[in-house]
Amino acid sequence: MSLSLAQLQRDYGHLGGGELLGPMIRDVFPGRIALVSSFGAESAILAHMVARIDPATAILFVDTGRLFPETLAYRDTLIERLGLTNVRTVAPSPSAIAAQDPHGELYSINSDACCEFRKVEVMEKGLRGFSAWITGRKRYHGGERSALAAVEHADWRIKVNPLAAWTPQQLAEYFKTHGLPAHPLVAQGYPSIGCVPCTSQVAEGEDARAGRWRGQEKTECGIHWSVDGKPIRPSSPSPSSAATG
């Protein structure tokens, strides 16, 4: 199957959740699509959907080296509970850490540079060989996510956002319906969970992502931004044949 972004949006852009993921994993990108998961607060939902479609689907987990130990434990819990067979943990190399952040303080000096080498570069390497990736972003997160399409592209890859239109109520209902375990930090006031130095607890009434890079203008790690520093938009120019299979 070979489809342009416009064709993908026309045929699948109105779908969400498992209805979108099923054809993406089975038909459009068989063996060439990966779920990128932080194993954070809401990650169990997509992991569960993927497991029901094909538990051997690649799941990329970027271990920045600054994550909460609870997140690593939660990853292992979900692997076991959901029967995931292809979770790939990728991480910055010891030499990259020694060269770029030997004292572990780069986050406080230049958080963009820290995210770049600990997350963006690592994920880009992990995605080599894949034509598409699945993200857990949602429109209700606001900011540059407000206009998120279900299917978009970043550079020459397709991005699939099955939860783009989902609400917090739908997410909570999915957890309940399927008996999914919660990330242990959610109950401690962390509705959005990243690295230890850049994640703080959120007070009642604050946005879910208010605890990420608190006090900075930064709201994204760079994974969801294009190489020229602009947010990825569904209206970006489409490659002539973005999906093949």
Binding of ligand SF4 by 197 (CB under 6 A): yes
Q: Does 119 bind ligand SF4 (CB under 6 A)?
A: yes
Q: Does 195 bind ligand SF4 (CB under 6 A)?
A: yes
Among 123, 221, 242, 243, binds ligand SF4 (CB under 6 A): 221
Query: Which two tokens mark 56?
Result: 């051997």
CB 5 within 8 A of CB 155: no
Residue-wise DSSP of 114-177:
HHIIIIIHHHHHHTTT-SEEE----GGG-GGGTT--SEEEETTEEEE-TTTT--HHHHHHHHHH
- Residue with Cβ nearer ligand SF4 (29 or 107): 107
Q: Which stretch binds ligand SF4 (CB under 6 A): 52-60, 107-115, 144-152, 227-235?
A: 107-115
Distance from C-alpha of 18 to C-alpha of 171, rounded to nearest angstrom: 13
Residue 114 annotated in active site: no
C-alpha angle 190-126-171 in degrees, rounded to nearest 5: 35
Provide the mask over 18-57, with x wherever binding to ligand SF4 is found by CB under 6 A and - wherever it is not: ----------------------------------------
In the bound state with ligand SF4, the residue whose beta carbon lies nearer, of 3 and 195, is 195
Rg (CA), the chain: 17
Number of C-beta neighbours around residue 14 at 10 A = 12
Q: Is 194 in the site for ligand SF4 (CB under 6 A)?
A: yes
Encoded one letter per residue, x for contact with ligand SF4 by CB under 6 A and - for no contact, window 153-192 reads ----------------------------------------
- 198 lies in the site for ligand SF4, by CB under 6 A: yes
The secondary element (H helix, E strand) that includes residue 243 is none
* Footprint on this chain of ligand SF4 (rule: CB under 6 A): 64, 66, 107, 111, 114-115, 118-119, 194-195, 197-198, 221
